[in-house]
Chains A and B, each alone.
Chain A
C-alpha cells in the first residue's frame, strides 16, 4: 500500500475515533446531568437543591456538531453514503467501477466545496462574535477542526476515485 494511502486511512480512522470520544464525553456529561436531576429529586424532600449542569444543551450541541463532522471522512472511506442499486446491476463490472470512481470524484468536489463554505461561515461567526446562548462559548473554534475534517473527507473521496481499492476497515 502506498504510504500516502496508509496515512489518509489512518487519519480518517483517528478522526472517527476522536468523534467517538466526543460522543463519549457527551454521554458522560449527560449521565452527570441526569444524576444531578435524580439527586435533586431526593434533595427536595429535605428542602435542598442539587443544580443540573448549566448550559448542558450548549455543550452537547457543540460536541456532537464537531463529532459529526469528524466522522465524515471515515464514512466516505467506507463508501457509507447510501445509493440505490436498482438499474446499475445491469452494467458490467468495468462500467460500474468507472461510475463509482466518477461519483467518488464528485463527492470529493462536494466535500471541498463544503469545506470552503465552512471556512467562510467560520470567519463570519468570528467577525460577528457569535457565541452559544448560555455558556457564551465562541462557536468558531469548534468549526476549525470541522474544516480540517471536511478537507480530509475531500482527500479521502479523491483518493478513492484514483485508487478505488483504498477503502477498507483497518487504519
Chain B
C-alpha cells in the first residue's frame, strides 16, 4: 500500500470509530471525508484540498435537486400518509378476517400485512413498529406464545426493505448506477419468497406445537364482511403500487406522487376515514424528519465516495481481490457476512452507502473486469445483471442483520412494545425466521434467476 491508500485505510478506521462514538453517521462521513482530504493533500500535494472543498458549494444542491432522488421524499410521504389514514389497520384486520381462524392464522395475517405495509412504507423499523401496535394486542388476546408473537413481528418488519417500492432499492440503484425500475422488478420474486418462507416457518412451528397458536373464535358475519370490504381498496392501492412498479408500468416519481394522492384522497373522503389536516401535518413532519436524514446521508456518502476515489483505496482493494486467487463465491459470501455483521447495529441505508462503493469494484474485478460478458464472467452474468443480483442479496442480508442476535434493530423495536418480554424470548421467537432467511439467502445465491427473471423478461 502506498501513502495515499494508507490515508484511505486510516479514514475507514476513523469513520467507524466516530460512528461507534454515536456521532451521527452523516456527520462522521462528512468529517472523515473533509479531514481525510486535508491529510491527503499534505501526503500527496498534487491532490489539492481547495478543489475538493469547492465541491461543497454545489454538491448539496445537486443532491437535493436530483430528479432521480425526488422519489425518496415522495415515497416516504406516501408511507406516512398510509399510516395516518389507518390503511395498515384495515390491511391487518381484513387479512385477519380472512385467515385468522386458521391455526397460526393471525401470525400469517401479520406477515402478509407487514409485507403490504412494508412495501408502501419502505422502512423495516417503521413497519415493525406500526404492525406491532396493531397486531400485538390481537396476538396476545388470543394467547399466542409470546416468543412467536414478538418473533413474527420482528421478522415481518424486515419485509419493508425489499418489496417495491423501497427507498433502499432506489438508493442502491443510484449508488451503482443501475436502473431503479429493474431493481424493483428484481425484488418482486425474492420479496414474495420471503413472505412464503415466513408463512411456512409459522406453519411448521404450529404443526409441531399447536398450543403456541390457539385458534381464534369466528368473527360475527357482519364484522367479517365489513373488514373484508375495507380490505379491498387497500389491497387495490398496495397491489397496484407493487405490481405497477414491479412490472415497470410506472416510473418511480409519478408512481409515488399518484400513490400519495390516492392514499390522501382515500383517507380524506372514504366513509369513516380519520385523515384530517392534523394527520396530514403529522405525515409531513414525519416525512421531514426521515427525508432530512436521508438527504444528508446521501450528500455525505457522495463526499465520502469522492474522497476514497482520491485515495485509490477501492481500486487497490479490487485489484487485490482479483489477484488473490479466491473463489468468487467465497468472496461474495465474505462480503455478505460483513453486511450481516454491520447490519446488526448500523442503519441499513447508511450501511449501503458506506460499503457498497467498496464492494462493487471488488465484484466487478472478480467477475472479469469492466467488459465481462455473460459467457466469460466468473459469476456467469454480465456486470449489469451482477449489479441487480448483488443488490438484492445485499438488501436481503441487511434484512437478516435486523434480526441477528445480539443487536438486531427490529428486535429492539419490538421490545419497546413488549417491555415485559425478555430479549431472550424475542430472540428465541425470531430464531426460526432467522433460519428461514438464511435458507432464502442460500436459494438466491444458488439460483440468481430468481432475481434476474423478471428484469430479463421485461427487458426483452
Contacts and interface: CB of A to CB of B under 8 A. Distances in A.
A82 B257 contact: no
B77, B291, B349, most chain A CB atoms within 10 A? B291
A81 interface: yes
Contact of B407 (A86, A121, A125): A86
A120 interface: yes
B359 interface: no
Nearest to B262: A31
B289 A64 contact: no
Interface string A15-41: 011011001001110110110000000
B258 A30 contact: yes
Interface in A81-137: 81-88, 99-100, 103, 106-107, 110, 113-114, 117-118, 120-121, 124-125
A34 to B, nearest CB: 5
Given A34-B254, A110-B27, A82 B293 contact: yes
B65 A84 contact: no
B290 A117 contact: no
Contacts of A68: 64, 73, 291-292, 295
Q: How large is the interface on A (under 10, 10 to 19, 20 to 34, 35 or more residues)?
A: 35 or more
Contacts of A57: 67
By secondary structure, the A interface counts as helix
Contacts of A10: none
A125 B58 CA distance: 9
A158 interface: no
Given A23-B77, A66-B65, 13 more contacts: A23-B287, A27-B260, A30-B253, A60-B67, A65-B64, A75-B289, A81-B26, A81-B293, A82-B349, A82-B350, A103-B24, A110-B30, A121-B57
18 contacts: A16-B284, A16-B285, A30-B258, A33-B254, A60-B70, A65-B61, A71-B73, A74-B292, A80-B293, A81-B24, A81-B293, A82-B24, A87-B20, A88-B22, A99-B21, A106-B31, A121-B61, A125-B58
Interface of A: 13, 16-17, 19-20, 23, 26-28, 30-31, 33-34, 57, 60-62, 64-72, 74-76, 78, 80-88, 99-100, 103, 106-107, 110, 113-114, 117-118, 120-121, 124-125, 139, 142-143, 146, 169
